Amino acid sequence: MTVLPQGSEISRRRLLQFGAAAGFLLGTGSLTGCAGPTGLPGPSTLTLALNRSLVSLDNKLNQFDAAVTVQRAVRQGLTAIGPETKPVLVLAERFEMTGPTEWTVRFREGIRYSDGSPVQVEDVATALKMYQQVQGSFVAGFFPEFPEVVPVDDRTFKMVSKKPIPILDSLMSMILITPAAQNKPEELQEGLGTGPYVVTKFNRGAGTYSLARNENYWGPAPQVDNVEVRFLPEESSRVIALRSGEVDVIDSITPDSREQLAGLPGVELQEASSLRLNQIFFNFRKPAGHPLADPRVRQALSMAIDGESLVRDVLVDSVTQAEGVTPSSLTGYYKTGEYVYDPEKAKATLAELGVKDLTLKIIWETGEFASDTSVMEALVEMFGKIGVKAELQQFEPGGNILAWRQGKQGDWDLLGNGYPSPTGLAITMLQGMYAGTPEKEATRDTYQGYVIPEVTAKIQAASAEADPARRTELLNEAQQAVWDTWPCAWAFVPKSVLAHRERVSNINLAPTNSYPLVDVRLEA
């Protein structure tokens, strides 16, 4: 984690934008629900303003990075991914591979839910079933298979699979544990957890949550008594709220806002490398004969995009253009190629393939990545230069974009989307995005309809390989095979950036774009 350099003036244009936002906030009183007498957060209350609506406090479907900060403050897994992107023990005191297809796990002594009830082996078994059964599961796709839980005693159990899962200790960091009787194959809005905080009230529609210290927490007690979570989709509103002290932390800020906040009294910026890949991804549910079903067409369209210009002029050098199908920050990354800008070749290739009068619909959800709207508008112009029309459809957070992505409602051609590897491993991202099968597609649990059996076989072989050297070799082959199908028109790797008031300390921002709330401190 790096503290960003300070010192930048605020432009008159931005001051006017912030002033308008300030008037809106003060006029509506939108943030005063958790405020003290001055309208500011109380001395023992931390207020977070997220750029996307947090619709659930478990992670079966809710996948954006900042949600992890709040979700893992209430619910925990057997393991977590530590600062060095290695698995660390949380609810487990032992998590050891004891055979080619067997892991042995033992709970920590004395771990309990917030009501004082003990964590049981059945809770783990049920959690695995619920994550597997929920339709559209974000997490399920990361598992090559779900292991069977075999109890040994009250605190010990084995996890047995048909094929080796050499990274199971990393994968289980994504399974948050809930009492078996309360777990369901759906997003959970409330319920017990083992984390340092409990939910005292929430409004899913508004994206607001109130958390209080868990007095029965099994670990070191959190230093902050209360946490308020707010949803502010407009970045100018979030920036003004931070500057005025009405909120303490804002996440996923754009390069423009980062520039405006740098050097301001009372505000600090933090940056971390990212495990996320942001993409302009093709719809792989197109029928045979459709232009986008041809990888040559997909490659030609990618040549219309001036990635260097987008990085420099739109994203202000806050990202790097991808050179593979996973971020270079992931363990197991392999450089497979580069996105080449060549609009003349793009036009010639499309003409050779008989593609004409092509119109593309590009969809995305607001806040999917920083400066998303500006990127999409630039794409329309770039595609236009090769004679391809493009239409934009933007979805508000909490809308129905999931149904569109699953092919259940509406048609589209390109999706602006971000996809993380929660484990820090390249194989996890490959498994989640590119190991689609006909069975998964039948329930719309593939990534945008990507089902290519040859690619899936390579990924599955790498996932089951226990020998590290051989696994690396297979992993490289799988990544090259994915690249050769041209799944993306363009992709880039962002940096994780957040801003906070100087009264907040110990925000240990990780590459997952999240941080442990239990570590955070507040000064008077």
Q: Has residue 71 been placed in a domain? A: no
Q: Are residues 227 and 334 in the same domain?
A: no
Q: Has residue 386 been placed in a domain? A: yes
Q: Are residues 22 and 127 in the same domain?
A: no
Residue ending a domain, among 118, 148, 182, is 182
Q: What is the CATH number of the domain that holds 124?
A: 3.90.76.10
Q: Are residues 23 and 140 in the same domain?
A: no
Question: Does residue 254 have a pLDDT over 60?
Answer: yes
Per residue in 329-370, pLDDT (tens digit) is 999 999 999 999 999 999 999 999 999 999 999 999 998 998
Distance from the Cα of residue 226 to its chain's centroid? 25
* Domain ranges, residue 504: 2-57+195-273+496-522
Tell me how long the chain is. Answer: 524
Question: Does residue 3 have a pLDDT over 90?
Answer: no
> Looking at residue 66, what is its pLDDT?
79
Residue 317: closest CA among 58, 497, 82: 497
Helices (H), 77-209: 121-133, 168-171
Tell me the whole-structure pTM to 2 decimals: 0.85
Per residue in 134-158, pLDDT (tens digit) is 987 889 999 999 999 999 999 999 9
Q: Has residue 281 been placed in a domain? A: yes
Question: Does residue 300 have a pLDDT over 80?
Answer: yes
Question: Does residue 102 have a pLDDT over 90?
Answer: yes
Q: Are residues 322 and 441 in the same domain?
A: yes
Q: Are residues 211 and 239 in the same domain?
A: yes
Q: What is the DSSP string of 196-234?
A: SEEEEEEETTTTEEEEEE-TT-SSSPPS-SEEEEEE---
Q: What is the percentage of the chain residues whose pLDDT exceeds 70?
A: 92
> Looking at residue 63, what is its pLDDT?
62
Q: What is the CATH number of the domain that holds 438?
A: 3.10.105.10
> Looking at residue 158, what is its pLDDT?
99
Question: Does residue 524 have a pLDDT over 90?
Answer: no
pLDDT class of 22 with cuts at 50, 70, 90: very low
> Looking at residue 34, what is its pLDDT?
47
Residue ending a domain, among 182, 214, 234, is 182
Q: Are residues 249 and 222 in the same domain?
A: yes
Q: Are residues 151 and 269 in the same domain?
A: no
Torsion of CA 478, 483, 487, 489, to 10 degrees: 160
Q: Has residue 441 been placed in a domain? A: yes
Find the mean pLDDT for residues 276-305.
98
How many domains in the chain? 3
Q: Are residues 156 and 7 in the same domain?
A: no
Q: Has residue 68 been placed in a domain? A: no
Question: Does residue 484 have a pLDDT over 70?
Answer: yes
Find the mean pLDDT for residues 309-315.
96
Question: Does residue 20 have a pLDDT over 50?
Answer: no
In whole angstroms, what is the distance from residue 423 CA to residue 48 CA? 25
Find the mean pLDDT for residues 194-209.
93
> Looking at residue 511, what is its pLDDT?
85
> Looking at residue 481, what is its pLDDT?
99
Q: Are residues 207 and 313 in the same domain?
A: no
In whole angstroms, what is the distance from residue 497 CA to residue 42 CA? 25
- Cβ-Cβ contacts under 8 Å for 298 (sequence gap 6 or more): 282, 292, 485, 486, 487, 489
Question: Does residue 173 have a pLDDT over 60?
Answer: yes
Question: Does residue 519 have a pLDDT over 50?
Answer: yes
Q: Are residues 240 and 280 in the same domain?
A: no
Residue 170: closest CA among 88, 261, 285, 291: 88
Mean pLDDT, all residues of the chain: 90
Q: Are residues 344 and 424 in the same domain?
A: yes
Q: Has residue 480 been placed in a domain? A: yes
> Looking at residue 14, what is its pLDDT?
36
Question: Does residue 442 have a pLDDT over 70?
Answer: yes
Question: Does residue 83 have a pLDDT over 90?
Answer: no
Q: Has residue 117 been placed in a domain? A: yes
Q: What is the CA radius of gyration of the chain?
A: 23
Which of the given ranges, 197-211, 240-254, 475-489, 493-507, has the highest pLDDT on average?
475-489
Give the strand pairing for 389-395 and 319-321: unpaired
> Looking at residue 64, what is its pLDDT?
67
Q: Has residue 187 been placed in a domain? A: no
Find the mean pLDDT for residues 266-282.
94
Find the mean pLDDT for residues 271-279.
92
Question: Does residue 377 have a pLDDT over 80?
Answer: yes
Q: What is the CATH number of the domain that holds 36?
A: 3.40.190.10
Q: Are residues 368 and 249 in the same domain?
A: no
In whole angstroms, what is the distance from residue 267 CA to residue 127 CA? 40
